[in-house]
Amino acid sequence: MLMYLLGKGTGIAWTIKDQNLRVISIAITAGIAGIFVCSYGNEVINNMPSNIFVNLGFAMIFNASKIDKQSS
């Protein structure tokens, strides 16, 4: 499920037309991917600060396409 969300979020981040919003979305996606890779050895993704970042990051990425449509 996380791999699907990460792939879908990557697709959304690369299709945003606003340059500043695209850079922010790609940075959030890269941070989530880093936490996902670190979670392979240790259960990092379910700890408190990482869990909040991942969940809010996915919410911001999936809402970024709506923000991009409203701004243009």
Q: What is the pLDDT of residue 28?
A: 94
Residue 21: band (very low, low, confident or very high) from pLDDT cuts 50, 70, 90: very high
Token pair for 62: 């999936």
The identity of residue 8, as a single letter, is K
CB atoms within 10 A of CB 39: 16
Phi, psi of 18 (to 5 degrees): -70, 120
CA separation for the pair 37, 66 (Å, rounded): 28
Each residue of 36-56: pLDDT tens digit? 988 888 888 788 888 899 999
Q: What share of the chain is helix, strand, coil (3-state, %, to 5)?
A: 80, 0, 20
pTM reported for the whole predicted model: 0.86
